[in-house]
Amino acid sequence: MPGLSGIFRKSKKGKKKETVKIEAKGASSKTYLKAMPLRDLSDLDVVKSEVSSGNVLILRITSLANKSIEDVKRAVNELCEFVESIGGDIARLGEERVVICPPNVTIWREKTPISNEPIPTAA
């Protein structure tokens, strides 16, 4: 399966950020962690509905990637735009999975350590 490393590295320069407020179902609503396969682009509506309901999704994209890597790129781009519009979070989990979180959940990302070595310059 082709790598997904370049799909999530999009520049956000010049983009105007719009957020959509999602209201919880009630004071006692729960957040669920759900795993599901992304087999077709038509599955995106279900994914968006689940995240809008406040659930965290782990999508396995292998079946869609086996059909068309272009469809995977299209799906991930659409999901990135959707997640940004609601104030959620999205990240890759290895080569086969993507995690999508609603606004009340943030994905922890390790910061790259800063080296104490001097930066080489041209002589």
CATH code, 97: 3.30.110.150
Which pLDDT belongs to residue 87? 97
- Is residue 5 in some structural domain? no
Residue among 32, 13, 41, 46 nearest 101 (CA): 32
Q: Is 109 within a domain?
A: no
Q: Is residue 111 part of a domain?
A: no
Q: Are 88 and 51 a contacting pair, CB within 8 Å?
A: yes
Asked if the structure places residue 73 within a domain, the reply is yes
What's the predicted TM-score (pTM) here?
0.69
Tell me what pLDDT residue 15 has.
45
> pLDDT under 50 in the chain at which residues?
10-22, 24, 26-27
Q: Tell me if 52 is assigned to some domain.
A: yes
Question: Is 14 among the domain residues?
Answer: no
59 assigned to some structural domain: yes
- pLDDT at position 36 is 97
Q: Which domain holds residue 61?
A: 33-101
Count: domains in the chain: 1
pLDDT value for 110:
84
pLDDT at 112: 75
Q: Measured between alpha carbons, how far apart are the two ends of the chain, in Å?
A: 43
Residue 57 lies in a domain: yes
